[in-house]
Every structure is written in structure tokens, then in C-alpha cells.
Amino acid sequence: MGVFLGGESSEREVSLRTGAAAVSALRRLGYQVREVDIRGDWLAGIRDSGVDVAFLALHGRFGEDGCIQGALELARIPYTGSGVAASALSMSKVLAKRIAASAGVPVAADALYEGETVSSPPPTGFGFPLVVKPDREGSTVGVSIVRSPEGWAQALAEAAKFDSRVLVEAYIPGREITVGILNGRVLPAIEIVPKSGSGFYDYRSKYTSGQTEYVIPVPMDRDILVRAADCTRKAAAALSLRGAARLDYRVDPAGNLFFLEANTIPGMTETSLLPKAAKFDGLSFDELVEEILDDAGLGK
């Protein structure tokens, strides 16, 4: 078996940590595991890996967007997580939102900027603040909250550094929750409470120890959490998600829920959100890893 980790996306360091945790768990479970760092000639890396099953611990471009999944399909190596189409669709925030909305899941109003220059005006009818983000990036890379017209051009230019498609959304005030799903089983929600003055869950808040509080169980009306679980089932089914995934939401002060995005290969360090939710639901980290492995396959 091989744990595919690292990669060349902006999330490489996070992927290395996810992969190391998965390797340790699989070895504790008695599996013979080889670490496969996918970089450089990654097609040769797959061909020469000599593995019979791939546990995917890659985040971002080439690892979470259907590329590695397609290569593994061609190589006939079973792999964990979602298939080619589900991975590609979920990597695009705007496409994931469109598909989730078609299944009755509420989403924030948005506009897509594709190939425009930094001189493009902000969308009409939204007002400020706005959220500006690369369409196909993760870990909040290139994301800005724009609170006035003066910050618009800089935010658009920053997002465009990472993707030719930029998604602009109406800002949803309130709280942020995330809901994991494991082989069709919805896990308890976790509330994300950044400690920064802005309350923005940015890269530093995500990956710097002590910068964010993660609250489980979530102190929120049960009706909202039931709706979040239902939306997670609907969105996961519509996107054809497999194995482990994590879906993020905003909840406004009136209790309205808005789907943000789906993560098809969530972080899997022992302090990551999916393992926290699984632990609260009675699954140890090693049991979680084995359940993800149990769903490995082809033709998803």
C-alpha cells in the first residue's frame, strides 16, 4: 500500500502532515506502507510506486481535483476518497455550489470573474462586504474579505494570482460550522471560532496552533444542526462524494444556513477537524483511517 502525499500545490506542507499521520496509523494497524511523494514527474511516481492501493493524502491542485484520481484509474490502482468527476467538481467552488443548490441546499449569492483584469468593477446588487476567492484553491489561499470599494482591486488581483477564475460571494455574517461525512455517515458538526480580531478563518488561523477554537458539540439550535446534516447528505449525494469529506457552512444571525464548499480530502492530522468529529462520534483516529481505506476502489 502507498500513502500518496506532498504534491506541488500551495497546500504541500499540510499534505505532508496529513500523510505522515495516515502512515503512522496504517502501520499501527499492521499494514506495510510506502510513502509516495507526488512531485516532479508524478506520472512516473505512480507507475514506479509498486503499490496495490493508494491512500490519498494530497490536498489542492493535482491531488484533490481529479488529476491523480484519473491517473490511478488508468494505472488500475484502487484509491481512497472520491472519484474523478466528484473530485473535479468539488475542487471548483462555483460548480460545487451550483450542484448543491440543484439538490435544494442553500448557497450565498455569487458572481464569477473569469479572465477579467483588476480593473473589472465589483458585482452590482451585492454591496459590501464581499468575499473574493480563487475558484479552485484550498486552505483559504488567496481569499479576502473586502469591506469597502477601496479594497476591491487588490483583492481581485490577489485571488487571480492563484486561479484564472475568481469567485465573488456576498458576505454572510454570523458563525461558521463544518460537517464531516464518512462513507455516508454524517458526523457531528464543529464550530470554527478564529481568535483573530477580524474573525476571518484564514491560513494562519487554520494552521497556527492556538489561533482558532474548535467547538464540539456546537452550542447552536438543534434545528440548525439537523438542517446542516440534511444539507450535507444532499450535497454529498449530488456531488457523488465517497469515503471521507467535509462540507463548510455559514450560519447567519437569523439561523439561515449557507453551503460554502466541499473538501474531498480533508486534513487528517490527529488535530484536524474530521478526526475531531469522528472522535466525538466514537471513532479513534486509527478506526477512521481504516474506514477510509475500506472504501478504496476504482470506477467511482
- 11 as an active site residue: the answer is yes
Q: Which of 60, 261, 272, 295 is catalytic?
A: 261
- 248 as an active site residue: the answer is yes
Locate 12 and state its grid cell: 504541500
- 9 as an active site residue: the answer is no
Q: Which of 70, 207, 240, 287 is catalytic?
A: 207
Locate 190 and state its grid cell: 464543529
- 136 as an active site residue: the answer is no
Locate 228 and state its grid cell: 446542516
Q: Which of 35, 116, 191, 248 is catalytic?
A: 248
C-alpha distance across the termini of the chain, in Å: 19
- 263 as an active site residue: the answer is yes
Q: Which of 11, 137, 169, 176 is catalytic?
A: 11
DSSP the chain: -EEEE--SSTTHHHHHHHHHHHHHHHHHTT---EEEE--SSHHHHHHTS--SSEEE---STTTSSSHHHHHHHHHT--BSS--HHHHHHHHSHHHHHHHHHHTT--B--EEEEES--TTPPPPTT--S-EEEEETT--TTTT-EEE-SGGGHHHHHHHHHTT-SEEEEEE---SEEEEEEEETTEEPPPEEEEE-STT----HHHHHSTTSEEEESS--S-HHHHHHHHHHHHHHHHHHT--SEEEEEEEE-TT--EEEEEEESS---STTSHHHHHHHHTT--HHHHHHHHHHT-BS--
Q: Which of 139, 144, 205, 272 is catalytic?
A: 139
In this structure, the strands spanning 130-134 and 165-170 are antiparallel
Do residues 34 and 3 lie in contact, with contact meaning Cβ atoms separated by under 8 Å? Answer: yes
Do residues 300 and 241 lie in contact, with contact meaning Cβ atoms separated by under 8 Å? Answer: no
Q: Which of 249, 263, 272, 295 is catalytic?
A: 263
Q: Which of 2, 92, 267, 272 is catalytic?
A: 267
- 79 as an active site residue: the answer is no
Residue whose entry in the numeric block shows the C-alpha cell 494570482:
161
Q: Which of 246, 249, 250, 295 is catalytic?
A: 246
The residues annotated as belonging to the active site are 11, 139, 207, 246, 248, 261, 263, 267
